[in-house]
Amino acid sequence: MCGIFGLINGVLSKDPLSFLAHRGPDDSGSFQNEWLFLGHTRLSILDVSQAGHQPMFYNDDDLVIVFNGEIYNHLDLRKELEVDGYQFASTSDTETILAAWKKWGTESVKLLNGIFAFAIYQKSTNQLYVVRDRFGVKPLYIYQKENQLAFSSEIKSFFSIDSFDTTLEPTNFHYYNNFLYAPGSPTPYKYVYKLLPATVLKIDVESALITEQLQFHSFKKEVTYSKSSLEEIVDELDTRMRTAISRQLLSDVPVGYFLSGGLDSSLIVAMAKSMHPTKNLDCFTIDAGIKKSKEGFTEDLPYAKMVADYLGVNLHIVNPQFNWVRDFDQMIWHLDEPQADLAPINLKEICGLAAEKGIKVLLSGAGGDDLFSGYRRHQALGLEKALNLIPKPLLKIGRSLALKIPSTNPKGRRVHKLTRDWTESKEDRFLNYFLWTSKSDASGNLFSQALKPTVKAIDPFNYHRSLLVNMGNRTLLDKMLLLERYTFLCDHNLNYSDKLSMAVGVEVRVPFLDNELVEFSESIPSLFKLKGTTTKFVLKKVAEKYLPKEVIYRPKTGFGSPIRQLIENDFQDMIQQRLNEKRLTEQGIFNPQEVQILLRDYLSGKREDGYIILSLLAIQSWLDQFKHKQSYETNHTVL
């Protein structure tokens, strides 16, 4: 895994690769002509020799590439290319991409089964092609203003551009407040956006203009559900998962595994062990010190130990000593975006231990929840189906009765939350499951008087609706799972998994997002994914071949931290310093009075909106580091 950077028609005031060194500590290189700069930092995984150095040129030097990622089927593609006379000087997948591009052009990206973000420059035509993988596993940002264009694995490297315009698009913070992340392309900057998954940009280098934008993969509008029996689907899913894991074990350096004790990571480890029974597998987890919290988190560690003992694998446990304010700020620095979740801190600790043990690659269970159903909102769809049968006037009466229950009572708050959407349309009620905030905050009430009218006019679900309209005959559950994949998984989970693992020089791979496995999962009938309230039903049936039932059917826990405990204690000084009236008034983004009401009501127990407070703190940390250039990263100074 690596870091890539490119700039057209610009001047560099700093070395952009210094901002990406953590992504590629093994090697770095650059290419430059009168219009274009391409840079690369390398974490050597396949062909660790200098033959894999980047930027890489193809044999006639017309094509130049900077590539971040892994192509798991590159050996199969290479065999096909060799039959046609293509020759190779290395064993790296980077060279395979170049040869495939030489033969098939932009059509070649449809053949790639892997995780990737890359740019290919064709000297003879002076065209640059920028590409991101089909599920958005690898991040890629675009900076575009007037006749200047840049791309990078991480936003922070744009600070190396002499004329980088850090003008904000403050209304985009509305997305972060609602979802903890920004779905789709927005970032907090006016001139920076995320390249959507499965996209190819064609850029004229002399003018820095995007001349063509191609979508090389999209979900099918109509899906054909399998008519096979449960037993047949279980067997097929078993085979496809083993194939995906086998592909992703391709590496010239040691490979390890996340092992939380949850179903997804445990099943991946179990399958890998069954394929390599004599091999010592190194697995990694965290002892976060959480036994039971008000937020409902329970300790995962006993289950991780149980799985490790059952399978006979090595379990390495990190015991972090958290400095929450420092760790929070450094997390935001690495994320490039104000994502309000503390799970990335845990992930960085686990990856740090793996790096200390000489492990450069970790296989993750990310994606299992999003393909087969694993979240509470998926279980709540049973209620949604029932509500669709009740006349709207009766729902209004139910909501009015619920509001009579005092919100100071925890049960009352839960009833309020359960009934909050009963008077809305079916589509809005469905989409509201993706919110992490109360409806009043979702409407923009926290913003300043100057911004509130604009924010209130923004539909936070505009990206969700653009996807939903093309989902055809899918069931309600499969529509939700597809939205998970294109929003929460891509823009939140995968982003933090990449950024916080690469912060310590470790590559995270996601077997559940193998192209063929994802396509097969879409054909599995919903009733085999969610059976009653049992999530991942079909996956659990597969797991019964490999794991004890007390692991398979254990209650799901979050990979997070006790938010209320932190807000009431560790974050109090940060709240006073960063959410005070003077600072918020000077910024002009949020309404100081509304923020104070939010804090007061939360601390008194009147409402449970810890994540919106965490989001406000994340935004303040991001503003300090990415707008005012006051970096909290101890090893790097922006200024």
Name the residue ranges covered by the structural domains of the chain.
2-215, 230-374+479-552
pLDDT of amino acid 395: 79
- The response to whether 604 counts as a known ligand-binding position is no
- The CATH class of the 230-374+479-552 domain is alpha beta
pLDDT of amino acid 184: 98
pLDDT higher than threshold 80 for residue 419: no
- Do 200 and 188 meet the contact criterion of CB atoms below 8 Å apart? no
Phi, psi dihedrals of residue 94, rounded to the nearest 5°? -60, -45
pLDDT of amino acid 157: 98
Q: Quick one: which H or E segment has residue 480? A: helix 476-484
Q: With bands split at pLDDT 50, 70 and 90, how would you rate the model's confidence at 425?
A: confident
Query: Which whole number is the average pLDDT over 206-224?
Result: 94
- Do 156 and 139 meet the contact criterion of CB atoms below 8 Å apart? no
- Do 233 and 226 meet the contact criterion of CB atoms below 8 Å apart? yes
Question: Annotated active-site positions, please?
Answer: 2
* CATH topology agreement for domains 2-215 and 230-374+479-552: no
pLDDT higher than threshold 70 for residue 1: no
Residues 555 and 73: their CA atoms lie apart, in Å, by 36
Query: Which whole number is the average pLDDT over 329-358?
Result: 97
- Do 257 and 272 meet the contact criterion of CB atoms below 8 Å apart? yes
> In DSSP terms, which residues pair with 212 in a beta bridge?
202
What are 630's two structure tokens?
A: 């006051």
Q: With bands split at pLDDT 50, 70 and 90, how would you rate the model's confidence at 416?
A: low
Residues 320 and 345: their CA atoms lie apart, in Å, by 10
The alpha carbon dihedral of 307, 309, 312, 313 has a sign of positive
pLDDT higher than threshold 50 for residue 634: no
Query: Which whole number is the average pLDDT over 435-456?
Result: 85
pLDDT of amino acid 52: 79
pLDDT of amino acid 394: 84
pLDDT higher than threshold 70 for residue 35: yes
pLDDT of amino acid 294: 46
Q: With bands split at pLDDT 50, 70 and 90, how would you rate the model's confidence at 334?
A: very high
Residue count (the chain): 639
Residues 231 and 541: their CA atoms lie apart, in Å, by 9
For the chain, the helix, strand and coil percentages under 3-state DSSP, each to the nearest 5: 45, 15, 40
Selection from 433, 431, 462, 455 nearest residue 185 by Cα: 462
What does pLDDT average to over the chain? 92
pLDDT in tens, 579-599: 999 999 999 999 999 999 999
- The response to whether 165 counts as a known ligand-binding position is no
> Among 89-103, 406-420, 450-464, whose mean pLDDT is lowest?
406-420
Query: Which whole number is the average pLDDT over 336-349?
Result: 97
Could you count the other beta carbons within 10 Å of the beta carbon of residue 178? 23
- The response to whether 93 counts as a known ligand-binding position is yes
CATH number for 2-215 (one of 3.30.200.210, 3.60.20.10, 3.40.50.1100, 3.30.390.30): it is 3.60.20.10
Angle at 102 between CA 97 and CA 105, to 5 degrees: 85
Distance of CA 97 to the CA centre of its chain: 24
Three-class SS state of 361: strand
